Amino acid sequence: MTTLWIKNPNAIFTANTLDARGGLVVRDGHIVEVLSAGQTPTQTVDDTFDASEHVVLPGLVNTHHHFYQTLTRACPPALNKRLFPWLKTLYPIWAGLQPEQHALATELAMVELLLSGCTTVADHHYLFPAGLENAIDTQAEVALKLGMRATLTRGSMSLSEDDGGLPPRTVVQSEQVILDDSERLIKRWHQQDEKGLLQVALAPCSPFSVTTDIMRASAELAERYDVGLHTHLAETEDENNFCLRMFGQRPLDYLDSVGWLNNRTWLAHGIHFNDEEVQRLGAAGTGICHCPSSNMVLASGICRVKELREAGSPVGLGVDGSASNDHSNLMQEIRQALLIQRLRYQADEFTHEDAIYLATKGSAQVLRRDDIGELAVGKKADIALFKLDEPRFSGAHDPLGALVLCGASQADAVMIHGEWKVRNKQWLGGDIKQLMSRHSSAAKTLFSAV
């Protein structure tokens, strides 16, 4: 067990009020000292990392993704489409997903996120065609192999296009299969590893892709085992109108009617809420994952981040699926969040620090985790360090501002639970070129099979 001093950073964002200009002391996977300017560690240090050229952040936290979609980036038939036509175009392709392809998509997405400074990922997997029944187990095994923190959400779809839903029948499951597997996964993976890397949540794809019974039963199961609930909601006005036709209710009213309007739930996108709904979400403590790039690609709208936070909702950040983004880079997503929120609010109403907060402590709050997302004594030693050594940063005066405004995209060093996963901008866990080659081949095979 060694003690490491990450010493005298060029700049540091703690996501709290602590002065950490002297750096951080890490031991046994946790931060054990936060040093103000001029301070030195009170305990014996075994190793020192000179951070004088680095901007230091808490490890970034991604609260919504679809790893499998890395196989269908910039997919020609789906380009320039609205959400529902986009989904109906891609579902037949995704229906052919095979276990090995899924494993490669998961690993590639997680490594891509890691290289961007992301240390905790949340994935929403809801496709279970024949042969892919153990998709979540595969993701858990990949996360443990990489040593990344992950909230794996057991998605589900039970209503096919034959039942008034959107997906083909080959990717939906029966209610009993969904509920039995959900309970199995909670018992198998939720908070079972010694480093606290894995959590499980329950995540029907959307209110209109499963039955009312599944929504209610998922809420009851989540309460019984104290796990989170996740779904897409209010992403587009088309979705709101679809819910009105299907249930006679707006999406939030329906969510409330099935027992989901509480602080266990976080919602992907959460764009098209009216003023009264924003207040209800805040009063319930329901979290929102803002997905700016995806929302721009699909022209879905702009999340009301400031009003939601002021009402009491935790708000975090997500890259969303790589078929609607089309990257898995959370550092770039911070800049996108800043820019798109400036279209809704004045420049002094949403700052670069607000954008970073979304991807750190805000996202940790969305996932109901108080052990990550900020730099403080007792928190997990999940840390991202960035250098400002590219032409885009030349002439920058404020290091933290430069990280966002000048468009940082790759971390120089990343630590999870006190262990280095990235150094000198290189992934330490494997051969990235070999992974990309295998992943690219899998993507071509999936697309050509349609």
Q: What would the pLDDT profile of 169-218 be if each residue is shown by its tens digit?
A: 888 999 999 999 999 999 999 999 989 999 999 999 998 889 999 999 99
Pair 243, 273: CB distance under 8 Å: no
Provide the pLDDT for residue 348: 96
What's the pLDDT score for residue 160? 87
Return the pLDDT at 450: 73
10 Å CB burial of residue 67 (0-12, 13-18, 19+) is buried
The two tokens of residue 205 are: 């794809």
**What type of residue sits at position 20?**
A
Coil, strand or helix at 413: strand
- 387/55 Cα distance (integer angstroms): 6
Phi/psi for 163 (5° steps) reads -105, 10
What pLDDT, on the 0 to 100 scale, is given for residue 84? 85
> In terms of DSSP bridges, do strands 23-27 and 3-7 run parallel, antiparallel, or are they unpaired?
antiparallel
* CATH architecture of the domain with residue range 60-366: Alpha-Beta Barrel (3.20)
pLDDT at 428: 98
Of residues 77, 55, 151, 80, the one with CA closest to residue 110: 151
169/133 Cα distance (integer angstroms) = 15
State the Cα torsion 323-334-286-284 to the nearest 10°.
-150
**Does residue 162 come out as left (phi exceeding 0), alpha (psi in the -120 to 50 range) or beta?**
alpha
Helices and strands in the chain, H and E counts: 15, 18
Alpha carbon distances (Å) from 443 to 74, 75, 318, 352, 434 = 11, 10, 23, 36, 14
Q: What is the pLDDT of residues 53-72, one digit of tens each?
A: 999 999 999 999 999 999 99
Burial of 187 (0-12, 13-18, 19+ CB in 10 A): exposed
Tell which CATH architecture fits domain 3-58+380-427: Roll (2.30)
Write down the pLDDT at residue 9: 98
Measuring CA to CA, which residue among 108, 127, 115, 126 is closest to residue 70? 108
Average pLDDT value for the chain: 96
Q: Which long-range contacts (CB under 8 A, 24 or more apart) does 174-183 make?
A: 175/211, 175/213, 175/214, 175/217, 178/210, 178/214, 179/214, 179/217, 179/218, 179/221, 181/133, 181/136, 181/154, 182/154, 182/156, 182/218, 182/221, 183/221, 183/225
Residues of the chain with pLDDT under 50: none
Which tokens sit at 15?
């996501």
% the chain with pLDDT above 90: 91
Taking a C-beta distance cutoff of 8 angstroms, is the pair 96, 449 a contact? yes
Residues 418, 26: contact at Cβ < 8 Å? yes
Element (DSSP H or E) covering residue 401: helix 399-405
Which residues neighbour 328 within 8 Å (Cβ) at sequence distance 6 or greater?
Answer: 65, 70, 109, 112, 113, 116, 319, 322
Q: Does 60-366 match 3-58+380-427 at the fold level? A: no
Which distant-in-sequence residues (6+ apart) come within 8 Å of 276 by Cβ? none
Domain boundaries along the sequence of the chain: 3-58+380-427, 60-366
